[in-house]
Each structure stands twice: as structure tokens, then as C-alpha cells.
Amino acid sequence: MVKVSYMIRRDYLVVGAGIGGASACEGIRKYDKRGSVTLVGAEAFPPYKRWILSKSFLREKEANLKKLQEFDERWFEAHKIETRFGTVVTQFNIDRRLAVLANGESIEFTKACLAMGSRPVRPPAAGTSLGNVIYLRTIRDALALREMASLEKTIMVVGGGLLASEAAASLRMMKMKVGLMHRDAYLLNRYVDPNTGVWLTDYFAKHGVVLSMGEALNGFEGKTVLRNIQTKSGNRFPVGLAVVACGAEPNLDLVRNTPLAGPHGSPVTEYLETEEKGIYAIGDLAFYPDRIMGGMRRQTHWENAREQGLVAGANMTGKKRIRYEQVPYFWTEMFDLRMDFVGDFTLPPTRVNLDGSYPKKKFSARYYQGDKLRAILLCQQTQREVDAAKNQLRQAQGK
């Protein structure tokens, strides 16, 4: 069959149907009820709560897709937003303001918002495409992991960041035999200080996760399906299922070799606009000026994508000029722990003040660079204390 291409014109095009893209639609509709909007998303599902995939969604006896929903089809219909789920933009012409879709459609747009999110990093090792090597990013990945986990006796999680730790904890709570392999000495080493990291790593060990810390991946072995995992030090782990969580990279292939793609993401102004007027970038893509903590920043967390979508959508209409100004924030759940991260965790602290205690699993750790408070880590604290931490950090930066 020959694909017949045809052209449609839209006031707004949103590329990417995660929480960022959906929020951009919401932001547009708040200030422009009539402009034509098309949302294009690679996944067949309407926007959903991706952050649940490694947590409760994985653990529930029955997969509850309803619980995942954030914006359903009815919401888009009610707000007169045309959707193209299960399709991708294959070409994006900045000068002509033209996008070509995989289904043959061409969309001429006045303004656009890039919200393509991230994809999992594949480690530079052999066998990364073998059967039973899973990268947890989409509903499909989570459903496949649930199904495979029930058939395999041992599961190895490769990585030691947020996603790896959450997945390992969830699988262990499902009574699976879980190993975790991480090249660093303790979990969440990108965010937490050594004392907290060692305590957290011990907590995983106490809950029965078999840890292989300081082990770097050499490769996955097997003919078509995973049989062993080999480490750089020469150790071999016989496992039938691996969950790989070694970070994520922004999906910028569509705008590669244009000013919209930089080494750290898509550079934007404080209004989330790229240097191409009328084209915005948000969420995992946006490399934005942090008006509170200073410097440029790219965040890959749900709250950030949600808030940036609302701001960019409003700014796209031209009816509003809102600066994006948030204290960086994310949170995690592992076993019975809830941890909130408020502020800038990109540099190791020169001083840490701990209130509370590790044995009681209730504490807050304040991270300083010199005399300046830069981040607060809260464990088992209330929303009120999280809000207070945000205010404290604003004040500490003189904002």
C-alpha cells in the first residue's frame, strides 16, 4: 500500500505524549480555548503516570491500567485536542515549521513544544538486546517484567540509581530472588552522602537483596535469551532475567544537528523557549536556567515535566509570560521508605548536618557547599516538612 500524505495546519503542535506534553496542552487551553492543537505520541496509550511503573504498578497482583491514567481520551476530546497516539514525528523542519508523521501526515504549525522525554541508556556491553534483558521505561516494559518475573527464579538489577533501586525493592517485595549489581560502593551515589548511602545499601541487604557492589558490567551472555551476566572482574552470575537501569538520555534525534539539540539537552530560556522563536522544549529535554539554585539544569523527574508543561503551554499562547522557577525536587519509595530530595544534588556536599537517626528510619540531612545550604534530603517526613525545606532553600539562596 502506498501512503498518501496530506497537509494539515495547526496553531500548536506538541511532540511527545508523556506528562510534559499533556500538561503543555493543559497550559495552552487555559489561555487559548480555540486555537487548534495536535498532540503526537509514540506510545499507543494516553499520557500516564510513568513514575508508578517501578513502584506499586509492578507489585500489584493484577495490572491496574486505570490507576496509571493521568489524562484519558475523554479529557482530550473535552478540550478539543486532536491526538495521534501510537505514531511518531519522523521529520521536523524548523524553517518551514513543518512536521512529518510516520503515518504520512504533514502538519504545518505556528508554534511547537518538544516533549519527547528520555530513552534508557544501553550500556556499552555485549548482549544488551538478548531476550529477557529489560529496560523499564514504558507500560509494555512493566507488563513484560511482571510476566517474566513470575517465570524466572532469579532476577538481576543492573544499576544503582533511583529506577534500579525502586525496581529491586519492588521485585523483592514480590518475594522474588533479587540481585543488584552496581559499579559504585553504595546505592544512589549520585545523590546521597556516603553515610546515608552505606545505611541505605545495608537496608537493601537486610531486606534480602543480594548486592554486588563495586562490580562493573562486562556483558550479557546467552544465545537468544539471557543465561549469565559477566562482570569486568570476571565474575559470572547465572540469571534468567535482567532489569537494566543505567540512566536515561534525552530523545533529541529528531532535532539532532540543529540549535535545538545541545550536549546537555535542548537549551531554553527561563520561559522554556528555544532560540527558535515559538518552539519550546520541556521535561527531560529542557536544559534551562535555574533561577533559584543558579546555573543551567536538566531534570528527568515527573514534577518538573508537569510544571514545565503548564508554563510552556501558557507561554505558547502569547497571552502569558511566565518564568519557570522551581526548587528542584523529586522523591522515591523503596520498601517502607519514602525519601524526598529538595534542592541541588549535583555536587557532593562539603558538609552534612543530620537531624534524626538512621536506625529509626526518620531523618533529614542538610547538604552544604561551604557555608551555603544547597540541598535537603528527607526520609519519612511529612509534606509540610518538604514544603518547609523548599522555602528554606529559597531563603538560603537569597530568593
**Does the pLDDT at position 72 exceed 90?**
no
* Domain boundaries, given as residue ranges, for the chain: 7-119+249-316, 126-246, 336-396
Give the model's pLDDT for residue 2.
42
Instruction: Report residue 289 as a C-alpha cell.
Output: 536556567
Give the model's pLDDT for residue 6.
75
What tens digit of pLDDT does each residue of 255-312 get?
999 999 999 999 999 999 999 999 999 999 999 999 999 999 999 999 999 999 999 9
Model confidence band, residue 324 (pLDDT cutoffs 50, 70, 90): very high
Tell me the average pLDDT across 219-223: 95
Q: What percent of the chain has pLDDT over 90?
A: 90
Can 7-119+249-316 and 336-396 be said to share one CATH topology? no
**Does the pLDDT at position 75 exceed 50?**
yes
Tell me the average pLDDT across 356-372: 96
What's the chain look like in SS3?
CCCCCCEEEEEEEEECCCHHHHHHHHHHHHHCCCCCEEEEECCCCCCECHHHCCCHHHHCCCCCHHHHECCCHHHHHHCCEEEEECCCEEEEECCCCEEEECCCCEEEEEEEEECCCEEECCCCCECCCCECEEECCCHHHHHHHHHHHHHCCEEEEECCCHHHHHHHHHHHHCCCEEEEEECCCCCCCCCCCHHHHHHHHHHHHHCCCEEEECCCEEEEECCCECCEEEECCCCEEECCEEEECCCEEECCHHHCCCCCCECCEEECCCCCECCCCCEEECHHHEEEECCCCCCEECCCCHHHHHHHHHHHHHHHCCCCCCCCCCCCEEEEEECCEEEEEEECCCCCCCEEEEEEECCCCEEEEEEEECCEEEEEEEECCCHHHHHHHHHHHHHHCCC
What tens digit of pLDDT does each residue of 33-67 get?
999 999 999 999 999 999 889 998 888 888 777 88
What tens digit of pLDDT does each residue of 176-196 get?
999 999 999 999 999 999 999
Cα–Cα distance for residue pair 367/192, rounded to 1 Å: 9
Model confidence band, residue 388 (pLDDT cutoffs 50, 70, 90): very high
Give the model's pLDDT for residue 322.
97
Q: What CATH class does 126-246 carry?
A: alpha beta
Q: What percent of the chain has pLDDT over 70?
A: 99
Across the strands, what pairs with 156? 179, 242
Give the model's pLDDT for residue 5.
60
Q: What CATH class does 7-119+249-316 carry?
A: alpha beta
Which of the four CATH numbers 3.40.640.10, 2.60.40.10, 3.90.440.10, 3.30.390.30 does domain 336-396 have? 3.30.390.30
Tell me the average pLDDT across 4-13: 85
The more confident residue out of 3 and 158 is 158
Averaged confidence pLDDT in the chain: 94
What tens digit of pLDDT does each residue of 101-152 get?
998 999 999 999 999 999 999 999 999 999 999 999 999 999 999 999 888 8
Model confidence band, residue 1 (pLDDT cutoffs 50, 70, 90): very low
